[in-house]
Amino acid sequence: MIIKHYQNVNPGWFHDELVAAGIGVTYLGHDAEEGERVAQNVEVWFEDGTDMAEADRIFAEVQAHGDAERPEPPPVDPPVTPPGGSLPEGNYTWADKSEFLEGLMDGLGVNPNE
């Protein structure tokens, strides 16, 4: 285990970026008060063999944002592909989707009422 101390960084943002980069974090502790974005002191326990140069690069990148609010990624709906293909392109209402699914189930010989 590798234990390292960092200062003046948003611990949540830092943690999320480390994990997104595939860096194994065993523990992350900090002294930020409730509602504060930046912690004066952050202690991170890394798995043995962690690329510390990459961890330090991520720290510097997150620290450069100061106390800025972390941008939220846009929500992404997972694509739903029906068996045998995909929905044709277009804007659908729930009624359109229901009709499509009913036709699909009929084509597959599925009766949802059974």
Q: What is the pLDDT of residues 21-61, one digit of tens each?
A: 999 999 998 998 888 888 899 999 999 999 999 999 999 99
pLDDT digits (tens, 9 = 90+) for 100-114: 667 666 766 666 566
Tell me the C-alpha to C-alpha distance, in Å, between residue 51 and each of 9, 16, 41. 19, 16, 21
Strand partners, 42: 6, 30
Asked if the model's pLDDT at residue 73 lies above 80, the reply is no
Domain boundaries, the chain: 2-63, 79-114
Label residue 25 exposed, middle or buried (CB < 10 Å: 0-12, 13-18, 19+). Answer: middle
pTM: 0.59
CATH of 2-63, one of 3.30.420, 1.10.287, 3.40.50, 3.30.70: 3.30.70
